[in-house]
Amino acid sequence: MHPSTEDLLSVRDGEPLDAGTSNVIADDATLEREIERMRQVRHALRQLPELPPADDMWQRIVAVERETRPRSNARWLAGAGIAAAVALLAIFVISSPPRPTGGIAPRAIPAGDGLTTRAIAEPPSTVVGAETSAETLFDRDRLLVGGRIVPVSYPALVQESARLDRALRRLPYQRPMMSAETATTIAGLEDRIALIDEQITYSNARGVPQPQRVALWGERVDLMNALVHVRYAQAQP
Amino acid sequence: MPKPLPQLDSALLARAQHGDRTAHAEIYGLFATSVFTLARRMLASKPLAEDVLQDTFVEVIRKVGTYRGEAEFGFWVKRIAINKCLMHLRSSWVSRRDSDGDKLVSSLPTRAAGIDDQIALERALDALSDTARVVVWLHDVEGHTHGEIGRMMGRTASFSKSQLARAHERLRLLLGGQPANDGPTELCTPVLKTC
Answer whether A25's CB lies under 8 Å from B120's CB. Answer: no
Domain ranges of chain A: 5-46, 79-235
pLDDT in tens, B10-31: 999 999 999 999 999 999 999 9
Would you say residue B195 lies in a domain?
no
Average confidence score pLDDT of chain B: 81
Per-residue pLDDT band for B40 (boundaries 50, 70, 90) equals very high
pLDDT given at position B185: 35
pLDDT of residue A219: 85
Percent of chain B past pLDDT 70, that is, above it, reads: 76
Residue A222: predicted pLDDT: 85
Instruction: Give the pLDDT confidence score for residue B104 in this predicted structure.
Output: 38
CB A200 within 8 A of CB A220: yes
Helix (H) or strand (E) holding A76: helix A73-78
Is any Cβ of chain A less than 8 angstroms from the Cβ of B97?
no
- Backbone torsion region of residue B111, taken as left when φ is above 0, otherwise alpha when ψ lies between -120 and 50, otherwise beta: beta
Residues B138 and B165 in one domain: yes
B118 and B148 assigned to the same domain: yes
Query: Do residue A37 and residue B179 have CB atoms under 8 angstroms apart?
Result: yes
Residue B68 exposed, middle or buried by CB count within 10 Å (0-12, 13-18, 19+): exposed
Say whether both B118 and B163 belong to one domain: yes
DSSP per-residue letters across A139-193: -SSEEEETTEEEESSHHHHHHHHHHHHHHHHHS---GGGS-HHHHHHHHHHHHHH
Going by C-beta distance under 8 Å and a sequence separation of 6 or more, which residues neighbour residue B10? none
The CATH number that applies at residue B166 is: 1.10.10
- CA–CA gap between residue B85 and residue B82 (Å, rounded): 5
Does residue B194 lie in a domain region?
no
The domain total for chain B is 2
Residue B52 has pLDDT above 70, yes or no: yes
Which positions ≥6 away from A169 have C-beta within 8 Å? none
pLDDT at A91: 60
Q: Output the pLDDT for position A66.
A: 85
Measured between beta carbons, the chain A residues lying within 8 angstroms of B128 are none
Same domain, B86 and B137: no
Q: Kindly list the residues from chain B whose CB atom is less than 8 angstroms away from the CB atom of residue A162.
A: 92-93, 96
The verdict on a CB contact (< 8 Å) between B54 and A220 is: no
Within the 101-160 window of chain B, which residues sit less than 8 Å (CB to CB) from chain A? 117-118, 121-122, 125, 136-137, 140-141, 154
A44 within 8 A of B181, measured Cβ to Cβ = yes
Q: What is the DSSP string of chain B?
A: -PPPPPP--HHHHHHHHTT-HHHHHHHHHHHHHHHHHHHHHHHS-HHHHHHHHHHHHHHHHHHGGG--SSS-HHHHHHHHHHHHHHHHHHSHHHHHHHHHGGGGGGGS-S--TTS-HHHHHHHHHHHS-HHHHHHHIIIIIS---HHHHHHHTTS-HHHHHHHHHHHHHHHHHHTTT--SSSS--S--GGGSTT-
Greater confidence, B40 or B103?
B40
Query: In this predicted structure, what is the pLDDT of residue B106?
Result: 38
Candidates B68, B71, B95; CA nearest to B153 is B95
A-interface mutation test, from B90, B158, B160, most A Cβ less than 10 A away: B90
Q: Shortest Cα distance from B148 to chain A (angstroms)? A: 15
pLDDT interval class at B69 (50, 70, 90): confident
Q: What is the mean pLDDT of each run of 10 residues along chain A (237 residues)?
A: 90 90 91 94 93 93 83 50 56 54 40 36 41 39 64 76 77 62 77 79 74 83 84 70
**Nearest Cα residue in chain B from A6:** B165
Are residue B97 and residue B164 in the same domain, yes or no?
A: yes
Note whether B40 and B71 are same-domain residues: yes
Question: Cβ contacts (< 8 Å) between B37 and chain A: which residues?
Answer: 50-51
Cβ separation A50–B34 shorter than 8 A: yes
CB pairs under 8 A between A and B: 154
Taken in order B41, B42, B46, B50, the sign of the CA dihedral is negative
**Which residues in B lie closer than 8 A to residue A41 (C-beta atoms)?**
121, 140, 168, 171-172, 175, 179-180
**With an 8 Å Cβ cutoff, is B50 touching chain A?**
yes
Instruction: State the best of A50, A175, A204 to mutate against chain B, taking most chain B CBs within 10 Å.
Output: A50
Q: Which of A130-134, B5-9, B141-145, B178-182 has the lowest mean pLDDT?
A: A130-134
Q: Do A41 and B180 touch (CB under 8 A)?
A: yes
pTM tops 0.80, yes or no = no
| CA-only gyration radius of chain A, Å | 25
Task: Give me the domain span that covers residue B149.
Answer: 92-175
Closest residue in A to B117 (Cα–Cα)? A44
Looking at residue A237, its pLDDT comes to 58
Interface contact B91-A193, CB threshold 8 A: yes
Helix, strand, or coil (residue A116)? helix
Q: Judge whether B64 is closer than 8 Å to chain A, CB to CB.
A: no
Using a CB-CB distance cutoff of 8 angstroms, which residues of chain A are in contact with residue B91?
Answer: 165, 193-194, 197
**Greatest mean pLDDT among B39-43, B65-69, B101-105:** B39-43
Instruction: Check residue B103 and give its pLDDT.
Output: 37
Together in a domain, B86 and B2: yes
User: What letter does residue A122 receive in the DSSP assignment?
Assistant: S
Cα gap A118→A134, rounded to integer Å? 15
Q: Is the domain of B62 the same as that of B97?
A: no
* B30 occurs within a structural domain: yes
The reply to whether residue B28 touches residue A65, judged by beta carbons under 8 angstroms, is: no
**In the prediction, which pLDDT does A147 show?**
60
Q: Looking at residue A129, what is its pLDDT? A: 37
Q: B175: nearest CA in chain A?
A: A41
User: Are the beta carbons of B73 and B13 closer than 8 angstroms?
Assistant: yes
Residue B138, in any domain of the structure: yes
Query: What are the strands, taking DSSP E only, across A103-147?
Result: 142-145
In this structure, are residues A125 and A131 in contact, taking their beta carbons and an 8 Å threshold? yes
Per-residue pLDDT, A131: 36
